[in-house]
Amino acid sequence: MTSEYRLGAWALIWRYLLALSWVLPSFAAPLVGQNLSRELPPAFCGFLISEIVGVIAASVLIRFRRRAPMLVVVSLSVLSSVTVTLGGFLSWGVASLCTRRRWKEILPAGVVFIGFQLLSDPVRRGLGLPAVTDLRVCGAQAAGLSGRDIMQKVRNRADGDTRYATIEMTLIQKSDHKRVRKLESWAMDIGNDTKKIMFFTYPGDVKGTGFLTWDYDNTAKVDDKWLYLPAMKKTRRISGKSSKTDYFMGSDFTYNDMSARSVDEEKHTLLREEMLGGQKCWVVESVPNDKDEIYTRRVTWVRQDCLMAVKAEYYDKLNKLHRRLTISNINKVQVFWTMHFMQMENVQTGHKTIIRMDNQKFNIKLSPNLFTVSQLEKGL
């Protein structure tokens, strides 16, 4: 009697140890390459909490594997769709079911298991957790790249000290009614800061309208923005909450979208790597530090070959998709990677803004005096 009890206890212990051995690598995988000296990103905190709760629940459920093996397997299948650490417990439950039940009970349990595994990623993303496939972030992280590192690379991408382009902006209503506007744009880098000025040249009702931005890399300094309205002969300073929530000239871009952001205005988390449009991309989630921003998080796809964002999704305060940005027609102009087409769509209203950029020129001779309020009011 004593011998049988010891054998049963040991058998139970090694099975628990085997099941738990699955847990540590699963916990460690998404943390590879993370800087643990910093505060862990919210997505990973949610991941850790969900996995700990799942392991505790599985440890309790597995004790009923002999009384109700089918119920245990189904329950563990459901749990494994929202966790990644329960493979050992699920295998234990399946083995117990297979050794004690007939195929009529095994088959439906297997169907449930496969079904919930297929639903795993959508369910986890719906709960705001990293999907199982999202844990394939290790390619970039093995190279020591964090989400912030990637966004800093995007910010530092070579694009000349000065820039010029002609722009066609098309505003498209849900009814498909279109309004076309044309602009000219100039930009100059001064150290780590950027100054940009643009003027509307068409149609007549907006011709002469100008927009000037001074974007500072230092997050302690607030970016300066001015909008000149020729009909009123008035210059309006864009600041505070309006720069984050108001839309630029009836488009789907906010005033902040029209300027270059400092990387440290947001907290960045590398979610995964994936292919988009035949190109390998990093997928980075960015959460703004300023709660007045129109979005609570942005997910950006960054092409690895040219360090350019090719897609971004903005989520509102209810965590619903609000706007979607797509960028295409990317090639090299004067050795610099250049975009020629972008579309911002407000998926909640159906309104779209399409921007086509042409005649790009880099490292042209420009005077710093171009980027002043007096020049803004003077016009072209």
Q: Which domains does the chain have, with CATH numbers?
A: 2-130 (no CATH), 151-378 (2.50.20.10)
Read off the tokens for 54: 């799942």
Residue 205 and residue 181 in contact, taking contact as beta carbons nearer than 8 Å = no
Q: Looking at residue 7, what is its pLDDT?
A: 40
Q: Burial of 8 by CB count in 10 Å (0-12 exposed, 13-18 middle, 19+ buried)? A: exposed
Residue 300 and residue 276 in contact, taking contact as beta carbons nearer than 8 Å = no
Taking Cα atoms as reference points, which of 150, 143, 154, 76 lies closest to residue 110?
76
Question: How many other CB atoms sit within 10 Å of the CB of residue 355?
Answer: 19
Residue 337 and residue 308 in contact, taking contact as beta carbons nearer than 8 Å = yes
Compute the C-alpha angle 250/253/254, nearest 5°. Answer: 90
Rounded-to-integer distance, Cα 114 and Cα 373, Å: 64
Q: Which residues of the chain have pLDDT under 70?
A: 1-12, 14, 19-47, 81-88, 97, 99-106, 109-110, 112-144
Read off the tokens for 225: 């923005």
Q: Looking at residue 67, what is its pLDDT?
A: 75
CA 298 vs CA 252, 287, 314: distances in Å:
15, 7, 5
Rounded-to-integer distance, Cα 165 and Cα 362, Å: 9
Q: Looking at residue 164, what is its pLDDT?
A: 98
Q: How many residues does the chain have?
A: 380
Taking Cα atoms as reference points, which of 186, 207, 206 lies closest to residue 196?
186
Read off the tokens for 208: 């002469």
Rounded-to-integer distance, Cα 234 and Cα 246, Å: 18
Render pLDDT for 178-224 as a digit per residue (tens, 0 to 9). 999 999 999 999 998 999 999 999 999 999 999 999 999 888 898 99
Largest CA distance in the chain: 99
